[in-house]
Structure formats: structure tokens, C-alpha cells
Structure 1
Amino acid sequence: MTLQDFPITTKWPPRHPERLQLYSLPTPNGVKVSIMLEETGLPYEVHRVSFDNQDQLSPEFLSLNPNNKIPAILDPDGPGGKPLALFESGAILLYLAEKTGQCLPRDPAAKWQTVQWLMFQMGGVGPMFGQLGFFHKFAGKDWEDKRPRERYASESRRLLAVLDGHLAARAWMMGDEFTIADIAIFPWVNNLVGFYDAGDLVGFSGFANVQRVLEAFMNRPGVARGMKVPATR
């Protein structure tokens, strides 16, 4: 089996079929994978999935991810040297960490503690921050009933407090080691106070440790590059 056997390559033909193929947008979930790829140095080729054109609903994209969400990857050099198609950002982070031997502790206990914080992002931070963004910035802001917004704002504050306490004596989520837990969490924190403009709503100024680590995260060269992938055009 080769990349040409995957229908998605008919819509987005690879120019470099020997490289990992990334299908994405620069959203909090999308940049998790591009940041990981930039941090690890794994060669990749990016394809923009345009929501404006409803690319995510095309038969070609659905053949790779039936859940019609970005990001997704197609790795020509998967397990056993065979191509591997994969979706869900958390699963992709775990796969790339194992593939490269980077951003995931080798110690078994530390590895599973990293995974728990990855799950914390996927089950809590992402859904709650995302819903708050809808009710604060997008169509939900026009609803007369403000209880949904306050529900998600309250839960977002609680999650930030959990992070702030955990980071009190740590440089990163796992201490001195930068991991996929950081790559999963901090694009969402950045989006919350940046794109969603919800910093005042959640009292972000009161979470000094989260602010400190977010600044360190955004100052990493690999993060800076990955945040812009794929480029807006």
C-alpha cells in the first residue's frame, strides 16, 4: 500500500510523498500537531483544509477522518513501514511522541502522568474553553440567557485554577521536561485569552503560574513556527 491508495491524496496530491502528510488549520487543535512536528523536526507536508470551502465534508477528507474534524495525518512510514492514517489530535500527539522518542517521558510513571494531563486537556480544557468562546465571542454572545456563558466561564476558571496550582513549582506540566501535555494545553490557553478575548471574563490575571508558562511556551521557536501552520492565505 502507498499514499496513492488513500482517496485523500486525490484532493491534496502530495508534493513530497516520502514525508508525513498533515491536513489541518491553525486552530488550537490543529496547531498541536504542527507544533509537535516543528519541535521534533520530523519532515512533513501540510495541506490546508478550508472550512470556507467545506473541505472537511468532502468525500476525500471523510475517507481519512469520518468525524470531519482537523487535524488528521497520513504517515507514509507508519508501523512496520506501512502508511498509517490517523485522526484526533491527542492520538496523533501520542503517536508522534512514540515515533520520534520525544516529548514523552521514558519513565513509565512519568509517561502515564503526562498522558493524564493530555486527557485533562481533551476532556476538560478543550471542550470548556471552546464552549466559552462560542458563548462569549460568536453567535452565543447574542443570547439573552447568559447562564450558559457563565457556566462555561466558571468551569474555565476552575480548570485554570487546577493548572495554576499544578504549575506553582514546575517549569512545565511535567516539571523540567517539555512534553505533549504542554503542547496540548497551552494553545488552548493562548486561544482563550487571545482569539476568544476572554481573559477578563475568567480572571486570567489571577493565574500567575499559567501566565508564566504560557509566555515561556509562546517564546519557543518550534511553537512560534507551528502556530502559523498552515499559513493563512
Structure 2
Amino acid sequence: MIDLHYWTTPNGHKISICLEEMRLAYKIVPVDISKDEQFAPAFLAIAPNNKIPAIVDHAPLDHGAPLALFESGAILTYLGDKTNKFLPSNPRGRATVAQWLFWQVGGLGAMAGQLHFFQSLAPQHVPFAIARFEKEVKRIYAVLDRQLANHAFIAGTDYTIADMAVFTWAATYDMLKLRIEQYPHALRWLEKVSARPAVQRAYGIAKKINPDAPMPALFM
């Protein structure tokens, strides 16, 4: 059994999608970040960076004591290793998946999060910040579109943990006020991934956990 410490954000969705795809037994432990529950001492003992998601695997690969992990990219990689699913075992394939996973964590997610903050959440309107992050997010979507022009999935012909990671952020294009039709290859891929049963289940779970959770336009 895996405990998933989770809230209904793109980073949280990555892990619920992964667990659903891998058919692993898990229990959701809600961490309502709107109530600052990520600062609770019990959660900090698992995730010292006070960010969701985090997991506790009660049956880890080494058969030792329960293993706590934070950082979504690390969790996805661990689960890929645990199950031998959605993560190539050959060095070249694994490196390709890793580079796109890190690209999402360090680029797409970070820049999209900043753009959303300055567009919709900042207490003051800051045109320079909005323009800066909008330009970078558009550049990143263009990178994604070019990659998908000649590939069925992010890292090539197979669906991997990289697709799970990138999907949850790329699917927020409506929240980011982007015209997704400008990125037709990305849109084709978004529609394909959103139709996967495990992805549908994960977003359905999000709505049960938090009825106010924003849903991407793909699920409306």
C-alpha cells in the first residue's frame, strides 16, 4: 500500500495518474494547501520542503522500512523502477525520459505556475512579469509542439512517466489563457492522453477530493 499525500494541483495529478496507470494499491491522504495543511508537523516529517505531492511506500523495493519520498519527478522515477512500467530499462531510453521529465519540472511547471500567479493571483497587476512569463510559456509550448510533431509521445513511440508529468501542466492552457490551436501537435497529444482511462479516473478522484478543483478544458 502506498499513501499519497495529495492535493488537486497539476503536481498532485501527476502521481494519482501514475498510480492509476500502474494499478498500484494506494490511499489518498488529502493535504489541503488552501488551509496551509502542508505546514503541519506530520506532513513536514514526510516532505520537508512543505510541498505536495509526497508518498509513503509501505512495501518499498528494498523490503525495508516504509519509504517516504517528496518531489514529483523523484516519485515518478521511483514508481517506474518499482513496477518496471512506463520507464525504459535501457540507458538511452531512460535518459530520454529523464530529460523530458526534468524539462517539465524545471521549465514548464515552474514557468506556468509563475504565469498563473501573475495573471490571476497576484495582489497587484504587474505587466512586466505577465509579459515575461507569458513569452517563456509560449516558447515552452512551442518546444513541446515541435517534439510531438514527429513523435507519438513525449519521449518517442511509448507513453511514459514523462507524458504523465508534462500532461498535467500542459493541460492547463485555458487557465494560462493560451490559444492551444497554435500548437496542433501538442493538442493532438493532449487529447490522446486525456482519453486514457487512468487519466480520466485520476481527475475524477480529484473532483471527489475537492469539488472546487479546477478542471482542464479537456475534461469539460
Settle same-fold status: TM greater than 0.5. Answer: yes
Shift of 1:197: 4.4
Write the distance in 1 (CA, Å) between the matches of 2:177 and 2:195.
Answer: 21
Count of aligned residue pairs for this structure pair: 208
- Counting only pairs closer than 5 Å after superposition, residues 194-205 of structure 1 correspond to structure 2 as 194=174, 196-200=175-179, 204-205=180-181
Q: 2:79 aligns with which of 78, 96, 102?
A: 96
The C-alpha deviation readout for 1:85-117, integer Å capped at 9, x for no partner, is 000000000000000000111221011110000
Shift of 1:229: 3.6
Q: 2:62 aligns with which of 73, 80, 87?
A: 80
Partner of 1:174: 155
Identity %: 40
Partner of 2:116: 133
Partner of 1:10: none
Aligned-residue CA RMSD in angstroms?
A: 1.3
Contact kept in structure 2, 1:132 and 1:152, CA below 8 Å: yes
Contact kept in structure 2, 1:26 and 1:228, CA below 8 Å: no
Contact kept in structure 1, 2:19 and 2:26, CA below 8 Å: yes
Partner of 1:33: 15
Task: Please state if 1:60 is matched with 2:39.
Answer: no
Which letter does structure 1 place at the counterpart of 2:98?
V
Write the distance in 1 (CA, Å) between the matches of 2:32 and 2:41.
Answer: 14
Q: 1:185 aligns with which of 158, 162, 166?
A: 166
Shift of 1:81: 1.1
Write the distance in 2 (CA, Å) between the matches of 1:23 and 1:228.
Answer: 17
Partner of 2:186: 210
Which letter does structure 2 place at the counterpart of 1:28?
P
Structure 2 alignment gaps of length 5 or more: 212-220
TM-score (norm 1): 0.86
Write the distance in 1 (CA, Å) between the matches of 2:37 and 2:67.
Answer: 21
The C-alpha deviation readout for 1:39-98, integer Å capped at 9, x for no partner, is 010110111101233211111111111111000000011132121000000000000000
Which letter does structure 2 place at the counterpart of 1:223?
V
Write the distance in 1 (CA, Å) between the matches of 2:11 and 2:204.
Answer: 13
Task: Please state if 1:153 is matched with 2:131.
Answer: no
Write the distance in 2 (CA, Å) between the matches of 1:63 and 1:222.
Answer: 30
Contact kept in structure 1, 2:16 and 2:202, CA below 8 Å: yes
Which letter does structure 1 place at the counterpart of 2:68?
A
Write the distance in 1 (CA, Å) between the matches of 2:171 and 2:40.
Answer: 30
Write the distance in 1 (CA, Å) between the matches of 2:113 and 2:14.
Answer: 15
Partner of 2:27: 45
Shift of 1:232: 1.5
Partner of 2:195: 219
Which letter does structure 2 place at the counterpart of 1:222?
A
Write the distance in 1 (CA, Å) between the matches of 2:184 and 2:171.
Answer: 14
- Counting only pairs closer than 5 Å after superposition, residues 111-130 of structure 1 correspond to structure 2 as 111-130=94-113
TM-score (norm 2): 0.91
Computing the radius of gyration over CA atoms, which structure comes out larger, 1 or 2?
Answer: 1
